[in-house]
Structure 1
Amino acid sequence: MSNEDSARLTLEEIREVTRSVCARYDDEYYRELDRTEGFPHDFIKDAMEAGLGSVMVPAEYGGMGLGVREASVVVEEIHRCGGSGSNLHGQMFMMGILARHGSDEMKQEILPLVASGEVRLQSFSVTEPTAGTDTSKITTKARKEGNEWVVSGQKVWTSRMDHTDFFMVFARTSPVKDPKKPFQGLSCFLVDKRKIDPKTLTTKKIDVMFNHHTYEVFYDDMRIPETCMIGEEGKGFKYLLDGLNAERILIGSECIGDGRWFLDRAVKYANERVVFGRPIGTNQGVQFPIAKGYAQLEAVDALRWKAADMFDSHENCGAEANMLKMLASEASWDLANTCMQTHGGFGLAREYDVERKFRENRIFQIAPISTNMVLNYVSQHVLGLPRSY
């Protein structure tokens, strides 16, 4: 579709475009990927050709020029159709960081390539083994040598690193000088993985409980041009927070999509499965958990729109984005358990796909931010309670 046409799409039309792509990839497709630990190259290709990965790219760079509100619908529908939005959502919020904070030259060079699907921007290299959630303790360093930055350190949980062309990496470019400002000195870089010496960047895949391609990454004096820095030196944490609010809205929307998948499957099975001469859905013990899950999901959906509208209006939406992610992950996990229980023994059978989605959904209780850290944020920044960590 043309940029002019895509900019006029309504939310429902975006849903329909997403569904039309997802319809080509059935349960068996994802079941086989899960079995072989395959990567959905063909799905990503089709999704990018349909413009789904360029929703948040400004129209002047070949994207739809829309917001996180529209992007949230894309990933929600992918999950409702049984897939995973992780293969697009990283690209969405990272392109948002680039569009908001990158130089004009960087945006003109890279955004059109990513929007068209010619290259992939899939990986966000932030977390470290010894730092975890405490980003202020990042030890990966970037030192300046002539017109290059030299990056050294180790990251963990860098998703899709073996399947990307460009990636973002956060590194410390100056030491902490004021203990009260531990995030000063962190900088953000956009790296063309195809142009670096492969000896200076190595990866090790982490074996996890579901089909998610995530890696340890080792930077061994990786040399990158000075033009790779996004924005100003030492202000990377500000850009990170801007991107993470979008990410949490997208993750919350993926949880809503998962919740609707579990809901649809539970209702269908409860209507069809006959035991003791009647559908099991006749029993209140089966009905009520499904109905309660639906009610919780509808409440979370209302918060999704509020958070997305605030982000797109450049309002501070930290509280809303965090609460959305937490509540949506809890609502979808409750429905995952309800769906599993409704199916009984068949919930464990791979042919029903419930166990696969069950495994996939569990991560949202932990990442990209844990429930406890969300509660820490709300306690301190919303309710004015003392800092607890």
Structure 2
Amino acid sequence: MSLITPSQNQQGGPKKGGARRAENNRLYGHSLPITFEKSHSWTSHILGLFGVSGTRMLNPHCTGIFDPHSRSVWVIDSKDAMIMWRRGFFGKGDLSRSEPSWRTRQISAGRAAAGKHMTAEEIREKRRAERKQFKLDRAAAIAQAAAEAEAAFTEGREAKSSVVIPSGATWRPQQLVTEESPSLSPIPDEERTVEFDEDSVPDLEHLQLTLQEAFFLAWSLDCLTIIDPTTSESMSLKQIWTAFQQIHGSTYIPGVVSEIYANRFDSPFMVNYAAYHYYRSLGWIIKGGIKFCVDLLLYKRGPVFHHAEFAIVIIPVYEDPEDQETSPFDLANSQPFSWTWLSTVNRVNSQVQKTLILTYVTIPARSRVSQELLSSPACLAHYSVREVVLRRFIPARMRD
């Protein structure tokens, strides 16, 4: 039983800006690529009288290409990529920070160059320049008012200052032309004749899925077809299962099962997938957590709605110590780590208001479980997941 479920915390972490909340709910309202549509026909109404649901499942059936060099699956089709991202936030754009928006940003930059509008970066720099100018104007007005008050006090007369100190509500920026931001000046109408062709911008970006995300989509949801890059044919579930395990070997050869890495329950893919499937099945949105020195980040609804509330560190635990001694894999966090490291990671995540969770994945002993189970995902039932929640004590915040 998990210590955390999305339903137990209705807040879901600090909310992001609410200006586009309704639009985000429309675009990213589905947590999985598979959706359900309720029919309103007379046939479904009659079936409903007999207890038969008229709801049908809509499966997008997306396609990805297995790339052994990057240990990922590439979704090339832009339509499939947007389905994967908007319905569950799977993967990331290889030319973007998260959502595959490279082409959109290039079109925006092209329009800005043609004089139609400013890019988001230019708007940001314009606002920064305006804030800087406001602080300078306010400081100058305060200094002038102080000088007039001091002069009036010296002369022994009543201080009546004519200086108006600007405030954030009444101050309006003047024309800002600086050496650092020459593009902020307005473009004359006679120079706005350049037409920008959006069709000339190629779509060079693809969505990159991790092996855990790809297998979850292919096996658990059956909405992703993975193509073998060598044969250009769709891979069977057994081929995907074998290839994803063998990819972590030092000498990976497509289609060849190495005896060194065969019959092993401690494959990095299997250990990480056990934790990934565990949290996905509980309804969490999962993204990589390398930015915060952890393995996974858990979102209640997704990055566009809330910040991640939990940070996960996956710790493999061998049921049989002999399996660890004979293992060809060097699993991360399999060795005891120092309290200095643990305190460092906990402090980093506490500063960004994330709760650190140590997720212990117990690897079944080879002597207890039949090796035939490794040929299918049925062996995942023998893995167990335990959680330890760590919270950093902060006296200034926890007095109540």
Higher helix share: 1
The structure showing larger relative contact order (alpha-carbon pairs under 8 Å, at least 6 residues apart) is 2
Q: TM over 0.5, yes or no?
A: no
TM-score w.r.t. the length of structure 1 is 0.29
